[in-house]
Amino acid sequence: MSAFRHWRLERESDGVAWLTFDRADESVNTLARDAMEELSGVLDTLDGAPPRGLVIQSGKSGGFIAGADIGELGRVKDAREAHDLVARGWDLFNRLAAVPYPTCALVRGFCVGGGTELVLACRHVVAVDEPGTRFALPEVMLGIVPGWGGMLRLPARIGAPAALDMMLTGRMLDARRAKSLGLVDELAPARLMREHARARVLSGKARRPLPWLQRLLGGPLRSMVANKALAGVAKKAARKHYPAPYAIVDIWRDFGGNALALPPEHPSSIPALVAHPTSRNLQRVYHLRERLRGFGRRDDALPDIRRVHVVGAGVMGGDIATWCAQQGFHVTLQDQGLERIAPAMQRAARAFARKFRRDAAARRAALDRLVPDPDGAGVAGADLVIEAIWENLDAKHALLRDIEARARPHALIASNTSSLGLDELASALDAPERLVGIHFFNPVARMPLVEVVQGARSSEQAVRRAAAFVGALDKLPLPVRDAPGFLVNAVLGPYMLEAMRCVDEGVAPEAVDAAALDFGMAMGPIELADTVGLDIAMAAGHRLTGGAEPPLCLRARVDAGQLGRKSGQGFYAWKDGRPQRMTSTAIPAGLVERLIQPLLQVTRRCVEQGVVADADLADAGLIFGAGFAPHTGGPLHYDADLALQHDRLRS
């Protein structure tokens, strides 16, 4: 038994050493400085008495290694500290990769960032065949690069195209996909994982070599692969806002994956990336995401939600039901007749086919969990009932009264309303404390944020229960108070209306959207309005502006039946779900500032009025719910940075 604080080293009679990472006083394993110094000490010990083989595993029930300590990254003050942080992991994992005895990483649960780089430094990898076992190199999402060997070893193990895709997107691989690519050597059931790891590390097997084409792409054709990757990155992110993905390609192509080989003045060097404001802001976004996830943690003191009944099989209701079933909930979907439910079931079948394309059993199970229910029989057995019918107060009142009469006493009742007040809806109930808002965004499968709306009479328990349900859906719950448009729609409405006023003044829709995209928004405001539906945008604008006249360009299109994507024509013609734009057009000076100002003003007002608890949550809501440019750290953070810069200029 070892005397290390974070690592346990045990030797068995067959000569295999088992090294268990169990970071003291923490719920997850992170590769902080002290843990890495201890790992170096473990390797010193093994140098003195080498084992027949070494298996590295986690002592945490939830996962393998969650990567580096983000707090340490945030405390880096200068180029020297940035260099030292990277060198620490680079040197240690090179040492691990060079030990004379065979090594095997036994991975169960999440394995991300530095955890995946440690795995890549091992000769063998055995992964537990469970849905929770996943691998990722998400450093790009923090504005940095996988500097501890990931850019060197991942392309050598799975081929350059797949490795670059993984590093440039931060995308996770499940265990089976990792096995098919070659990142994982062997899959094992949990009950036999130690036996598989022991057999593997003692097997004497060599790693499966890369196919000759992959070796060619990583060698003589390296520049071609790099150029293709850079072209893909350029379509999604500008280098001025997001230098890290460009740096990954530069370092792999020109420096063999060694981030320490770049001169400090190189724009892709570690000091340059750490000093760039995007890195600081993306670390902020990471902490905002974790704060939202905290609201969604399961509370054992609250009644569990297993069965969900959704009323309304339109685009939103149907897609909410589909997502719930995909995430493991048993769902009944109600509407006026099977013919209204059928399109939602067809969309669900396609979604499950995409999600579970390599797992027919999981696909069938998801379909079995989603049951058409035209008579609403599922209300009586549901733990949660979500109404997602059209935005009509009388219709919703009648439905909520019927739900309350048939639902179990402990069942939570929720509305997906996007514009009606929760307090108005609650007036139909005898027990209004049961009602909360669970407001999803379209498209449900892609939008990470869900607003959890507390009305004046919603109970705290109901709100916490709703937030935990959202967390169980793998979404980010944002607690908001009942107010017109809540947070996201209240902010987006004036933003889109200002964009349309620009069109009224003769600015091309393409120029308006180009200005927003150049700033870093996920989608331009004109395309967003077309996507939402121009009739919905006009109705929401009417409510949010107190009945002000809509922009002329909006009214003209709605009057002509040109409602955007759903009708095939709005500000843009739509084909195969994509807007057909004219060629690029010049962006008028000051257009970005004009578009952003109303958004900033309304966001500040929402904080002042208590719609969200503080400015950080407002920033989180607009980043994850409206696609506000993540590189800025959020609208209010961006506004504060601008004010600080102006103060410096004046001084």
Supply the residues annotated as catalytic.
418, 439, 451, 489
Per-position b or e across 491-512, b if 16+ CB within 10 A of its CB = bbbbbbbbbbbbbeeebbbbbb
Helix (H, G, I), strand (E, B) or coil at 53: strand
How do the residues of the chain divide into helix, strand and coil, expressed in percent and rounded to 5?
A: 50, 15, 35
Residue 367's contacts (CB-CB under 8 Å, 6 or more residues apart) are 325, 348, 349, 352
Residue 75's contacts (CB-CB under 8 Å, 6 or more residues apart) are none
Strand 476-481 to 370-372 pairing:
unpaired
**How far, CA to CA in Å, does 564 sit from each of 81, 318, 480, 582, 583?**
51, 21, 29, 16, 20
Q: Which contiguous run of DSSP H or E holds residue 450?
A: strand 449-454
**How far, CA to CA in Å, does 291 sit from each of 65, 474, 636?**
20, 14, 17
Closest by CA to 447, choosing from 484, 481, 492, 412, is 492
Closest by CA to 478, choosing from 376, 623, 373, is 623
Rounded Cα gap, residues 36 and 41, in angstroms: 9
Q: Is the dihedral of CA 90, 94, 97, 99 positive or negative?
A: negative
Helix (H, G, I), strand (E, B) or coil at 447: coil
Task: Quickly list H helices, 356-457.
Answer: 360-369, 393-406, 422-426
The tokens for 413 are 């009742």
Total Cβ atoms within 10 A of residue 265: 8
The tokens for 460 are 């705290």
Which residues, in sequence order, are bridge partners of residue 187?
A: 127
Rounded Cα gap, residues 539 and 500, in angstroms: 15
The position carrying tokens 């992991």 is 89
Give Cα 264 distance to the centre of its chain. 32
Rounded Cα gap, residues 288 and 294, in angstroms: 10
The answer to whether 123 touches 104, Cβ cutoff 8 Å, is yes
For 76, phi and psi rounded to 5 degrees?
-65, 125
HSE-up of residue 163 (Cα within 13 Å, Cβ side): 32
